[in-house]
């Protein structure tokens, strides 16, 4: 009996210790839900420079959006930072974002085009929804979307599932738009399927299939494409004509106290300052490969000049509300046996 009592006492001490370590202690300051690689570096720099605490919740885009939707009108966050203005526009329509939080900055042309009329989210950098990553041995890499239907690429193209991978819906929407809109553009996607399109879960799976030679060309978000190509010298990246804008965005929560609102706006301005944008490019790994949307910062050298690309900005008001319908159609027809 004595031994069992000793074990019970040890367990009680462990439980008490665990509770002590896990017990919430201090005010969290700004709470940043981040799904971008550079989130932790910017949060640390902000705290160091301003003394304002930033508690980071680092999650995938899907989990971030699920959390925000479930929290609804009682948000536990102060700021959101993720890729995808279509998703941000949908949150805005649901009344989950504060209005007029966009700072006055020296925006470039693309940046200005991405700012919503009600200022509900700030575009913080531009990536592209669909970049082609391929093996250097590929004789004639495609330059536009129609080329993916060529017999040379039969069974060789892979992409992520838009119903699971957050950044893929803008890609699917873009493909549909360039092929005539909705529902006319369905024909193009079905032709891709007929040409042996492979659909994987997420970027990691699609790019692993490319490296393993299972497919010859991966269509992924540009930031992941450049980052993978920088790690595997046998891979190359090509931006198709047209490419579809997939900006990263910061949003502030509605109903913040004036003090917290001011701190949130300060964070947004800080994140867009030239010095911090350079930090984002250096420490941002995959996500650091973005084109700046302000005139005072240069793009990373690895990226082609934005002016040399044909970038289409999708209308969030048009494509946002269709997400459910488009994804359901993709699952039913493209993923069907």
Q: Please report, as residue ranges, which positions from 84 to 113 form the binding site for other proteins (by CB under 8 A).
A: 84, 86-87, 90-91, 94, 96
Q: Could you tell me how many residues of this chain bind other proteins (CB under 8 A)?
A: 82
State how far the Cα of 149 lies from the Cα of 142, in Å rounded to an integer: 10
Between 94 and 136, whose beta carbon lies closer to other proteins?
A: 94
Cis, peptide link before residue 183, omega less than 30° from 0: yes
> Can residue 333 be called a binding residue for other proteins (CB under 8 A)?
no
Q: Using CB under 8 A, which of the segments 50-58, 120-128, 173-181, 250-258 binds other proteins? A: 50-58
CA distances from residue 322 to 18, 137, 241 in whole angstroms, order as listed: 47, 38, 24
Question: What is the chain's length?
Answer: 337
> Can residue 6 be called a binding residue for other proteins (CB under 8 A)?
yes
The distance of closest approach from Cβ of residue 89 to other proteins in the complex, given in angstroms and rounded to an integer, is 9
State how far the Cα of 109 lies from the Cα of 120, in Å rounded to an integer: 19
State how far the Cα of 239 lies from the Cα of 138, in Å rounded to an integer: 15
The distance of closest approach from Cβ of residue 104 to other proteins in the complex, given in angstroms and rounded to an integer, is 28
Q: Using CB under 8 A, which of the segments 101-109, 139-147, 268-276, 316-324 binds other proteins? A: 316-324
> Can residue 18 be called a binding residue for other proteins (CB under 8 A)?
yes
- DSSP at 107: B
> Can residue 146 be called a binding residue for other proteins (CB under 8 A)?
no
Using CB under 8 A, which of 63, 138, 299, 306 touches other proteins? 63
Using CB under 8 A, which of 9, 13, 49, 76 touches other proteins? 76
Q: Using CB under 8 A, which of the segments 8-16, 104-112, 132-140, 294-302 binds other proteins? A: 8-16
> Can residue 306 be called a binding residue for other proteins (CB under 8 A)?
no
> Can residue 148 be called a binding residue for other proteins (CB under 8 A)?
no
Interacting positions 149-178 with other proteins (CB under 8 A): 161-164, 166, 169
Report the run of H or E that residue 79 belongs to, with start and end: strand 79-83
Using CB under 8 A, which of 7, 187, 190, 275 touches other proteins? 7
What x-and-dash track marks residues 282-301 binding other proteins by CB under 8 A?
-x-xxx--------------
What angle is formed at CA 248 by the lines to CA 282 and CA 117, rounded to 5 degrees? 140
Q: Could you tell me the end-to-end alpha-carbon distance of the chain, in angstroms, rounded to an integer?
A: 63
> Can residue 275 be called a binding residue for other proteins (CB under 8 A)?
no
> Can residue 78 be called a binding residue for other proteins (CB under 8 A)?
no
Of 159, 131, 158, 161, nearest to 144 (Cα)? Answer: 131
Report the run of H or E that residue 135 belongs to, with start and end: strand 131-135
Q: Using CB under 8 A, which of the segments 105-113, 119-127, 134-142, 280-288 binds other proteins? A: 280-288
Cis, peptide link before residue 242, omega less than 30° from 0: yes
Q: Which two tokens stand for residue 310?
A: 């044909």
State how far the Cα of 166 lies from the Cα of 164, in Å rounded to an integer: 6
State how far the Cα of 96 lies from the Cα of 98, in Å rounded to an integer: 7
Between 107 and 286, whose beta carbon lies closer to other proteins?
A: 286
Interacting positions 206-265 with other proteins (CB under 8 A): 207-209, 211-214, 224, 227-228, 231
Q: Which two tokens stand for residue 87?
A: 């998703």
């Amino acid at each position: 009996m004595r031994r069992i009592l000793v074990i019970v006492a040890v367990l009680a001490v462990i439980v008490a210790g665990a509770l002590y370590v896990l017990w919430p202690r201090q005010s969290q300051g700004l709470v940043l839900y981040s799904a971008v690689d550079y989130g932790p570096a910017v949060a640390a720099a902000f705290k160091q420079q301003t003394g304002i605490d930033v508690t980071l919740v680092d999650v995938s885009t899907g989990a971030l959006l699920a959390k925000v939707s479930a929290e609804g009108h009682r948000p536990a966050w102060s700021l959101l930072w993720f890729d995808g203005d279509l998703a941000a526009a949908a949150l805005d329509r649901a009344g989950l974002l504060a209005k007029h939080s966009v700072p006055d900055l020296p925006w470039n042309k693309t940046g200005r085009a991405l700012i919503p009329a009600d200022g509900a989210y700030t575009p913080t950098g531009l990536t592209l929804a669909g970049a082609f990553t391929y093996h250097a041995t590929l004789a004639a890499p495609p330059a536009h979307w129609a080329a993916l239907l060529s017999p040379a690429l039969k069974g060789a193209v892979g992409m992520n599932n838009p119903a699971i991978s957050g950044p893929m819906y803008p890609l699917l929407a873009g493909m549909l738009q360039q092929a005539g809109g909705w529902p006319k553009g369905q024909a193009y996607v079905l032709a891709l399927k007929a040409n042996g399109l492979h659909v994987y879960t997420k970027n990691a799976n699609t790019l692993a299939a490319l490296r393993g030679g299972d497919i010859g060309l991966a269509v992924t978000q540009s930031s992941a494409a450049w980052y993978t190509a920088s790690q595997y010298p046998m891979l190359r990246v090509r931006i198709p004509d047209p490419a579809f804008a997939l900006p990263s965005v910061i949003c502030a929560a509605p109903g913040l106290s004036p003090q917290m609102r001011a701190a949130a706006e300060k964070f947004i301005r800080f994140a867009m300052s030239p010095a911090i944008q350079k930090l984002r490019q250096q420490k941002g790994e995959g996500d650091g490969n973005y084109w700046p949307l302000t005139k005072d910062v240069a793009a990373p050298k690895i990226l082609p000049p934005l002016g040399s690309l044909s970038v289409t900005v999708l209308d969030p008001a048009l494509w946002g509300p269709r997400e459910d319908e488009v994804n359901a159609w993709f699952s039913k027809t493209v993923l069907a046996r």
